[in-house]
Amino acid sequence: MKIAFIGLGIMGSRMAANLAKKGADITVYNRNHEKALDLAEYGAKPEKSLQKAVEDKDIVFTMLTTPEVVEEMAFGENGFVQYMKSNSIWADCSTVDVAFAKKMNKAAINFGIRYADTPVAGSLIPAQNALLTFLVGSDTQLLEHLRPYLEMMGNRIVHAGNPGMGASMKLSVNMMLAHTMAGFAESVNFAEKMGIDKNVMMDVLVNLPIAAPILKSKSMKISDQDFSEEFPLELMHKDLFLAVKTAYELNTTIPITHIVKEVFGEAKKKGLGREDICAVIKPME
């Protein structure tokens, strides 16, 4: 199949590179064209025109920052969906809210396009090493068309259900990640305030069964004062907002997530938005 990949940020660039390295016929597009050119060395075909990038493709992957950007790129004045060939597939790997994913599905159907929400669990390193988990909302037949390409970018595929269910699962995953990161940061800071060396406390925590595996790498970043973005803090804040918004729409409550959203919001307000999520510890210090 002919593939297009739109959105070459931290995640998308590495996902597209893995497709190219593994022999996919892939055209890449990014609003900053320089990022598309960087992938030519792996065999990807950079394209300046969004229309030309998608018009003859069987599958179009998108990996974009917010629902607003996804909608503008897909259905704006020069949106790509209008140029996709009939019955082709749009697989959106972006993290969006549930209502939005369902809205995109309906809008795509009106253009004769098959839609799947295919967000991922994993950040920079898993994306680079093709170790992502795909959380897929689509019908079974469509998933089988996507599967060979998802397997080039990840090592696990979870069929969450119909369109919208991939987004549902992704919001729940990121909620848990945010709770874990904020709780770890607060515990370490509290220990330090009581006179315990921060690095000693982190080493104790990450080697107990109470700790999530991701905290080992995050503790190393904190210890090294390396807050370079693997998962930008501002995008986690956005994901928590989407979770709170979805909870409101479902008339349910997620009180812990409300609090954690404000913790990340405070860190973002202090100018840490483009640093890694582990930078949430800085305001606590």
Cβ count within 10 A of residue 82: 15
User: Which token pair is 67?
Assistant: 């629902």
The rounded distance, in Å, linking the Cα atoms of 26 and 15 is 11
User: Which token pair is 252?
Assistant: 């349910």
Which residues are bridge partners to 135 per DSSP? 158
Nearest C-alpha neighbor of 72 from the set 22, 16, 31, 14: 31
The residue with tokens 């309906």 is 106
- Cβ neighbours of residue 147 closer than 8 Å, sequence gap 6 or more: 157
Which residues are bridge partners to 132 per DSSP? 154
The residue with tokens 């795509």 is 108
Q: Which of 102, 170, 268, 282 is catalytic?
A: 170
Q: Is 22 a catalytic residue?
A: no
The residue with tokens 């909302």 is 137
Catalytic residue IDs: 170
